[in-house]
Structure 1
Amino acid sequence: MNLADQVLAVNNDLPIRTNKPVHSGKVRSVYWLTDEDSQRLIQEKGYDVASDAPLAIMVISDRISAFDCIWHAQGGLKGVPGKGAALNAISNHWFKLFKENGLADSHILDIPHPFVWIVQKAKPVKIEAICRQYLTGSMWRSYEKGEREFCGIKLPEGLGKDKALPEILITPSTKGILKGIPGVPEADDVNISRKNIEDNFAEFNFSSAEDINLYEKYLKQGFELIGKSLAEIDQIFVDTKFEFGYVEDAEGNEKLIYMDEVGTPDSSRIWDKNEYLQNNIVENSKEGFRQFLLNHFPDPDILLNKNRMDEREALARNNELPTDSLMDLSRTYINIAEKITGQKIVLSKNPKQEIIDVLSRDYGLID
């Protein structure tokens, strides 16, 4: 079988019944169900949500996004074999662990297929909630240039590259472009301080100022729980990004929940602990692919400089990467997913048809 056939690269063309445009992100596509289908499924499946809650089908892909671009390789390989299934399996594992340990819920109601979530509509908090335990990546690059204040937090002198920070840091950034907030540039993904959030909590979509403490509590609890679990399989949880939102339960109570994915190699850095103790950084996350791209192209500034986005997009569009670069990443994703979940990741022979079959047979959602 052709490897490219086992990759789900396009996920916004499924015949799922919807009366709204399909929203396609870098990796996932979202199909909003009709009111009739949402209400029917809530009743049939007994989901603990308001009876009129809008539901969506979220389909993950095997696309690989890095430096805000989608990359492809030779031989028509438009994604990373096994990546979508690995990411969903890891997220599902952590969400289950969160539930067992009394942490907040997530927006996921059902998992019909390894590539698919059924989710309820949430009011998203407009923050990329980032937690860091080590000084590395962009933070290290800024620290090395002399910056000492990050998101309103002052770091001491004398910290080392890839070394543990004095404490777990919360360094949030904006999710989407927010307008009219004093001291916050009108751009996506800019660092913000806790004071920025406190002074403008409604603009960040918090229902109350008290919920800022709650989001930080959930962020630290989630980070610590995943970190403890990863330590048991000799992995280090270096840093991660969580997203939060609000939903209503069947009684109409609003609650803050985890959204999107958690603790995956796409949203986190994960290092091999035994290698780290030998002073080697072995990335069990997308970071290794980012490093490959920085070394692969003669002018890495294109990838790091936000003012050169047009050149960067052209680079991603016009260059077929070596097949090995995506296959190495495939092994990384599948290996870490199998370590975390203790389950084998099986590549679908025809993921698109499998999704159509299950959504038709068990959910009545295919026209």
Structure 2
Amino acid sequence: MSLANTVLAVNDDLPIRTGAPVHSGKVRSVYWLTEEDSARLIAERGYDVAADAPLAIMIISDRISAFDCIWHGEGGLHGVPGKGAALNAISNHWFQCFRDQGLADSHILEIPHPLVWIVQKARPVMIEAIARQYITGSMWRAYAGGEREFCGIRLPDGLEKDQKLPDLLITPSTKGILTGIPGVPAVDDANITRRDIVDNYAAFNFSAAVDVERYEQLLQEGFALIAARLAELDQIFVDTKFEFGYVHDKAGREKLIYMDEVGTPDSSRIWDGPAWRAGKILENSKEGFRQVLLNHFPDPDILLNKARMDERAALARDNALPLQVLMDVSATYTGIAEKITGRPLALAENPKAEIIEVLGGQFGLVD
């Protein structure tokens, strides 16, 4: 079997019985189940959710997105071998650690296959919860250019590139376009302050003002847990993005949960500890792939300048990357997944066929 056949590139065409159109994102596709199938699975599997809760099957692909584009490689390789399984394994590991430590639950109800989650529908908090322990990337570029205030927080003079910050910095931004919030631009990914959130908590989909403190607590405790566990592996948790939402349990109680993914190479920067102490940055995250792209193309401004999105889209569409580039990314993702979980990563030879077999036979969701 060819390498390309082991990669799940297209993940929105599986014959899963649905009650709504499939939503396909950059990496994951979401299949919303029918009311009947949702109710049946809740009853059969004993999920701790309301009897009428909408459920979905979430399928993660091996596609790789960077600079808002999907990239591909030579030989018909439209993804990174093992990337999807690595992301799911890492998220599953951290979500379990959060539950074990009594932090909060997640939207995941069951994991029937390394590329599949069964999830409950959550009401999302409309915040990209970003936490930074080191000054690097876009924040460093802004700081080096003279900026000192980030999301309402003032940084001192004299910081150096890639150094550890005095405190964990929470620099949230909007998730989607939010309108009617004083002082907050109606654009996606607009930087916001804690005061913006507290004064307009309902507009960000919080149920109560006290939940703003709860979300910050979960963000800080989740970051601290991952950072401590990675430190044991001599890896540095640099920065990350968390997302939160609300669900109801079987008794009808509303609870704030973690959702999307956590602590993965897609949502976080992770540095190799020995390299950092030697004055070098060795990325164990997608940031390494971004740097390869910036070095690979003669005009990196196309990748950095949002005014050149049409050129950027053409660059991604018309250029097959060298096979070694995607295999290096594969080694990074699978390597850090195996470090974190302490287990070899199970890779499928024919992922689509395996998923159909599991969801059809065990769960009765394939016609």
Q: How does 1:215-254 map to 2 (within 5 A)?
A: 215-254=215-254
Deviation at 1:196, TM superposition (A): 1.3
Deviation at 1:353, TM superposition (A): 0.4
Deviation at 1:280, TM superposition (A): 1.0
Deviation at 1:14, TM superposition (A): 0.3
Please give the secondary structure, in 2, of the residue aligned with 1:364.
coil
Deviation at 1:180, TM superposition (A): 2.1
Report Cα offsets for 1:188-239 as digits up to 9, x if no partner: 1121111111122111111111111000000000000000000001100000
Q: Give the AA of the match of 1:77.
A: L
Please give the secondary structure, in 2, of the residue aligned with 1:203.
helix
Please give the secondary structure, in 1, of the residue aligned with 2:290.
helix
Q: How does 1:139-178 map to 2 (within 5 A)?
A: 139-178=139-178
Return the alpha-carbon distance in structure 1 between the equivalents of residues 330 and 276 of structure 2: 22
Return the alpha-carbon distance in structure 2 between the equivalents of residues 9 and 152 of structure 1: 40
Deviation at 1:307, TM superposition (A): 2.0
Q: Give the AA of the match of 1:338.
A: E
Return the alpha-carbon distance in structure 2 between the equivalents of residues 181 and 214 of structure 1: 21
Return the alpha-carbon distance in structure 1 between the equivalents of residues 118 and 325 of structure 2: 32
Work out the percentage of aligned pairs sharing the same amino acid: 73
Taking structure 1 as the reference length, what is the TM-score of the superposition? 0.99
Deviation at 1:260, TM superposition (A): 0.7
> 1:120 maps to what in 2?
120
Q: How does 1:338-353 map to 2 (within 5 A)?
A: 338-353=338-353
Return the alpha-carbon distance in structure 2 between the equivalents of residues 195 and 309 of structure 1: 33
Please give the secondary structure, in 1, of the residue aligned with 2:257.
strand
Return the alpha-carbon distance in structure 2 between the equivalents of residues 152 and 293 of structure 1: 32
> 1:99 maps to what in 2?
99
Deviation at 1:156, TM superposition (A): 0.4
> 2:44 maps to what in 1?
44
Return the alpha-carbon distance in structure 2 between the equivalents of residues 196 and 316 of structure 1: 37
Please give the secondary structure, in 1, of the residue aligned with 2:203.
coil
Report Cα offsets for 1:41-76 as digits up to 9, x if no partner: 000000000000000000000000111111111111
Please give the secondary structure, in 1, of the residue aligned with 2:201.
coil
Matching of residue 301 in structure 1 with residue 289 in structure 2: no
Gaps of 5+ in 2: none
Gaps of 5+ in 1: none
Q: Give the AA of the match of 1:42.
A: I
> 2:278 maps to what in 1?
278
Please give the secondary structure, in 2, of the residue aligned with 1:202.
helix
Q: Give the AA of the match of 2:220.
A: K
Q: Is the 8 A contact 2:33 2:57 kept in 1?
A: yes
Please give the secondary structure, in 2, of the residue aligned with 1:182.
coil
How much is the aligned-residue C-alpha RMSD, in angstroms?
Answer: 0.8
Q: Give the AA of the match of 1:150.
A: F
Return the alpha-carbon distance in structure 2 between the equivalents of residues 306 and 197 of structure 1: 27
Return the alpha-carbon distance in structure 2 between the equivalents of residues 318 and 202 of structure 1: 44
> 2:331 maps to what in 1?
331
Return the alpha-carbon distance in structure 2 between the equivalents of residues 316 and 203 of structure 1: 36
Q: Is the 8 A contact 2:8 2:351 kept in 1?
A: yes
Deviation at 1:31, TM superposition (A): 0.3
Deviation at 1:323, TM superposition (A): 1.0
Q: Give the AA of the match of 1:35.
A: E
> 1:130 maps to what in 2?
130
- Please identify, of 343-352 and 330-339, the stretch whose mean Cα deviation from structure 2 is larger: 343-352
- Please identify, of 289-298 and 224-233, the stretch whose mean Cα deviation from structure 2 is larger: 289-298
Q: Give the AA of the match of 1:90.
A: I
Return the alpha-carbon distance in structure 2 between the equivalents of residues 76 and 186 of structure 1: 39
> 1:67 maps to what in 2?
67
Please give the secondary structure, in 2, of the residue aligned with 1:179.
coil
Return the alpha-carbon distance in structure 1 between the equivalents of residues 328 and 185 of structure 2: 38
Return the alpha-carbon distance in structure 2 between the equivalents of residues 177 and 168 of structure 1: 26
Matching of residue 108 in structure 1 with residue 108 in structure 2: yes
